[in-house]
Chain A
Amino acid sequence: QSALTQPASVSGSPGQSITISCTGTSSDVGGYNFVSWYQQHPGKAPKLMIYEVSNRPSGISNRFSGSKSGNTASLTISGLQAEDEADYYCSSYTRTSYVFGTGTKVTVL
């Protein structure tokens, strides 16, 4: 199972909005509404930010939103803040297992 494709890096200024894409196939992202997104700060464990494409867990800021179109899922961070600087990973169900994305480093300029 190949990893889902994410851009290596995305950057933005404080207050701006950025979008991270996550491209798979009809066997994973396109086939199921089971895409989740994780934030990982350096040296820390991943943290769930979005589940089932667009749902936010309790306690996650509404600045984070998720969507999907065809085989590509997206995570949008609006009102970018310094604390959002981290690595972000998508993940999808694949009928028999799960697969993560390649990861995106978000830099706040």
Chain B
Amino acid sequence: EVQLLESGGGLEQPGGSLRLSCAASGFTFSSYAMRWVRQAPGKGLEWVSAISGSGGVTYYADPVKGRFTISRDNSKNTLYLQMNSLRAEDTALYYCARVCGSGHCLDCWGQGTLVTVSA
């Protein structure tokens, strides 16, 4: 069974840092691109960042560019999101998701980890 399990969320002050992790199981992790998607409380979905299967290609949404870094360790089947210079507007539930084989959809999602940025 394909599973994604996020961790690392919590309460952080503005300007602080957090590192999210997403442990994958049930599939050949290195064969799939991955993405982080977030959802602010009571709001819609927002794409955050993406990474290729090898980790060599990364993409970022404009609101997080220069502050967040996506990475992966294929030997540990784990995806990461390093979040620096956090802002109140980064408060959200962060999901990791597997990119479909076709490359343009998300066919498996974790349950999310909550990040709250507040003084």
Chain A interface (Cβ < 8 Å from any Cβ of B): 1, 3, 32, 34, 36, 38, 44-48, 51-52, 57, 89, 91, 93, 96-103
Q: Which residues of A contact B110 (CB under 8 A)?
A: 45
In contact, A101 and B105 (Cβ under 8 angstroms): no
Number of chain B interface residues as a range? 20 to 34
The reply to whether B105 and A3 contact each other, CB–CB distance below 8 Å, is: no
Q: Are A48 and B104 in contact (CB under 8 A)?
A: no
Closest beta carbon of chain A to B113's beta carbon, Å: 11
CB pair A97–B107 under 8 Å, yes or no, is no
B75 at interface by CB-CB < 8 Å: no
Q: Beyond A45-B95, A46-B45, A48-B107, is A97–B59 a contact (Cβ under 8 Å)?
A: yes
Is the CB–CB distance between B45 and A89 below 8 Å?
yes
Shortest B16–chain A CB gap in Å is 26
Interface residues of B in 63-104 (CB under 8 A from A): 95, 100, 102, 104
What's the count of A-B pairs with C-beta under 8 Å? 60
Residue in B44, B104, B112 whose CB lies within 8 Å of A51: B104
Q: Which 10 A-B pairs have the closest CB atoms?
A: A34-B104, A51-B105, A36-B105, A45-B109, A103-B44, A100-B45, A98-B47, A48-B107, A93-B104, A89-B45
B106 within 8 A of A: yes
Cβ contacts under 8 Å, B45 to chain A: 38, 46, 89, 91, 100, 103
A100 touches B61 (CB 8 A): no
Tell me which of B44, B62, B102 contacts A89 (CB under 8 A). Answer: B44
- Distance between Cα atoms of A51 and B103 in the complex (Å): 10
Give chain A residues whose Cβ lies under 8 Å from the Cβ of B107: 48, 51, 57
Q: Which residues of B contact A34 (CB under 8 A)?
A: 104-105
- Indicate if B31 sits at the interface (CB-CB under 8 A): no
> With a CB–CB cut-off of 8 A, which chain B residues contact A46?
37, 45, 95, 106, 109
